[in-house]
A and B are shown apart, each in its own frame.
Chain A
Amino acid sequence: MASVLNMLLVVVLALNLYLLGNSRLSATIRIVAAQGALIGVMPLLVHQQVGLAAFAVSVAAILLKGVLIPWMLMRALREAQIKREVEPLIGFLPSMILGALATAFALAFASHLPLAREHTSHLLVPASVATVLSGFILLTTRYKALSQVIGYLVLENGVFIFGLLLIEAMPLIVEMGVLLDLFVGIFVISIIVNHINRAFSLQNTPRFGEQKD
């Protein structure tokens, strides 16, 4: 099981880099959907026997992260009628390199933290930290409101990966609460994105700029 899980985690890390280097918004939404679905499968692989909690979390996460949220974002994208990210603060290639550095840093950082014996065989902690950092890079360097939402989703995915270590310790209702909050958050955000779109016609967040300090 651990080897399958590690393979999936490596794919997740590769998707992070792919996201950082991609300029087409519809492609980035698809990538984040794929990442979400992959992560949704993981609760089934972390432990030897699959409990009801893990199963429920897995189904909810796949539906939410892999289907529902990407669908909402795609709709927002269609209504906004934009295709590409404008040239970001840090170019696509440099941000990819930054992402690779972040992954290396995550591996180094994770090796300093003590892990329980049953968790030493897989890459959950470094993958989680690297994904959170990739989310941060997306959030801080991209201009379009939708790209920033995608950055937030990647960050949430990173947190979710870490949560896999705790899938038995965290009660089911809390896991569900976390997913529900994410869903409502994205729902409200996509409504606001639509309004931004109507009000500003272009969705560049820095274009706001009316309120400086």
Chain B
Amino acid sequence: MAYAMILLPLVMAALAFALPSNRWRPWLLPVTSLAHGALVAWALAHPALLTQSSWLVLDPPGRLVLVLVSVLFCASAFYTVDYLRRRAEHPNSVFCVCFLTFLSMMTLVTWSHHLGLMWVAVEATTLVSAPLIYFDRTHNSIEATWKYLLVCSIGIALALMGSFFLAYASLHAGLDSSLTFENLLENAPALSRPWLYAAFVLSLVGYGTKMGLAPVHIWLPDAHSEAPSPVSALLSGALLNCAFLAILRIYHICIATGEGTFTSGPLIGIGLFSMAVAGLFMFCQRDFKRMLAYSSIEHMGILALGLGIGAPALFGTLLHILNSGLTKGVLFLSAGNIYHAYHSKSTDVVRGALRRVPLSGALFLTGFLAITGSPPFGPFISEFSILNAAFGASHYWAAGLFLFFLFLIFIGMGILVLKVVQGHPSEAVQSSSYRDGGLTCVPPLLLMALVLLLGLYIPAPLDTLIRDAVNFLEVTP
């Protein structure tokens, strides 16, 4: 099953490379996404398929992230067809090949059950997504790609050092470890502590760079604002969560040692700091895609905070992976439509989106309400659950700051979003040819419906999926 899921997009990528037609090539993306989605659904329905070999196992948190990746990829793929049609002057073969390979590598991250393999997969996602950010070939996009490649590669190199330290922790204890997560979890109590601590810190900083935690987030605002919108949606909704999955797995090993409390401080600290940075930078923003990038940093901060609070917040944290990822998809895709209607990302130009592109404007506004944690949308439930757990576990300071930053971000983001959607568009803007269409509006609309659904009612299979993951992560020897 794993091979099918990972190889399918690669085969399609080869096909995309071979196909000469610039016009028909993009349709390979939605086809692949539907097939990939079907494979994921089939695998989840048959638990026997979830273990391929000792290296490729889809553990419960991996399942959750894989579902998110597949859904978001599907939405972005349909959207991309229209996006590339409007950019017909650009050759798109490299774009399509990288887009499909990106899916394959993210799938590999979720499946990998080996410390080294996971590292290779995470690094590979950086390399294949760099050309996607560079699609526009402008000065700003080169700068963004350069920062993305260099900063993420350095971060990932540190994560490799962390993985090596973890491997040495097991070697030093005289364990004949195969470095699969299963093996590391079994032997966790015997791991050499100093090496384990150092490994955790390096992995947190390393994978945290990729995940966009402040202060190592510097690549993120540029990359998210310069990349084409469907790519931003995938980077923000899917890729960052894949990096979080890597941190989650290292965290799990630390917890399994039985003395995992040392992880709590750094995670809570870095989480709150990310929220603070996001809140501060949101106030002086005029570029609405950049604002969304800072919102991604905020939500990665919330995930780190939730993980730092520990067991009581796990359910909320895992639910928040889905909620924030899907809402980010809505926001970036609708922001892309607004960008195409105005050919600008600056709020000096973009006014009156509700009049100019009513559906996209409404989606952008609703997405904003959802992401800032307003009821009745999904993120409200998960953020409330994390807050509740923070009070329950008597992290009063963290809970208070969490609330304060949420409030700050609500105001900062609100000012900017209202500027974009309200008012009257200027005359010059009316002439642009973009109108809301099926391919550009249905994907974010469906994602929005999912976010609303998650706020009102969590379907039973999803509930089981999250509870499985919580039980899996709480296992102590």
Contacts and interface: CB of A to CB of B under 8 A. Distances in A.
B98 to A, nearest CB: 10
Contact of B146 (A180, A205, A210): A205
Contact of B171 (A145, A152, A169): A169
A199 interface: yes
B368 interface: no
Contact of A159 (B114, B157, B178, B192): B157
Given A155-B154, A159-B157, A185-B123, A169 B146 contact: no
| Central interface residue in B131, B165, B171, by most chain A CB within 10 Å | B171
A10 to B, nearest CB: 21
A113 B143 contact: no
A67 to B, nearest CB: 21
Contacts of A195: 134, 137, 142
B65 to A, nearest CB: 21
A174 B164 contact: no
B179 A169 contact: yes
Contacts of A156: 157
A101 interface: no
How many B residues are at the interface, by size bracket?
35 or more
A114 B192 contact: yes
B422 interface: no
B167 interface: yes
A188 B157 contact: no
A139 B149 contact: no
B142 A199 contact: yes
B150 A114 contact: no
Nearest to A205: B146
The main secondary structure of chain B at its interface with chain A is: helix
B164 A189 contact: no
B117 to A, nearest CB: 6
Contact of A178 (B134, B149, B160): B160
A113 B194 contact: yes
**Residue of A169, A171, A177, A200 ringed by the most chain B CB atoms within 10 A:** A169
User: Which of B116, B123, B192 gathers the greatest number of chain A CB atoms within 10 Å?
Assistant: B116
B198 interface: yes
Given A114-B172, A152-B154, A185-B127, A159 B167 contact: no
A93 interface: no
B281 interface: yes
A192 B134 contact: yes
A162 B161 contact: yes
A139 B134 CA distance: 22
A184 interface: yes
Contacts of A174: 114, 116-117, 119-120
Give the one of B131, B153, B167, B179 with max A CB within 10 A. Answer: B153
B144 A192 contact: no
B221 interface: yes
Contacts of A145: 146
Interface in B354-413: none
B46 interface: no
Interface string A170-213: 11001001101100110011001001100110000100101101
Interface string B232-256: 0000000000000000000000000
Residue picked from A158, A165, A188, most chain B C-beta under 10 Å: A188
Given A112-B194, A113-B195, A180-B120, 15 more contacts: A159-B161, A162-B161, A162-B164, A165-B171, A166-B167, A170-B179, A178-B120, A181-B127, A189-B150, A192-B142, A195-B134, A208-B139, A211-B143, A211-B144, A211-B221
25 contacts: A112-B194, A114-B172, A114-B194, A116-B172, A116-B174, A132-B161, A139-B154, A158-B161, A162-B164, A166-B171, A171-B178, A177-B116, A178-B160, A184-B127, A185-B149, A189-B153, A192-B146, A195-B137, A205-B146, A208-B143, A210-B139, A210-B143, A211-B140, A211-B222, A213-B284
List the 7 closest A-B pairs by CB distance, nearest first: A174-B116, A177-B120, A208-B143, A181-B123, A159-B161, A116-B172, A162-B164
Interface of B: 114, 116-117, 119-120, 123-124, 126-127, 130-131, 134, 137, 139-140, 142-146, 149-150, 153-154, 157, 160-161, 164-165, 167-168, 170-172, 174, 177-179, 192, 194-195, 198, 221-222, 281, 284
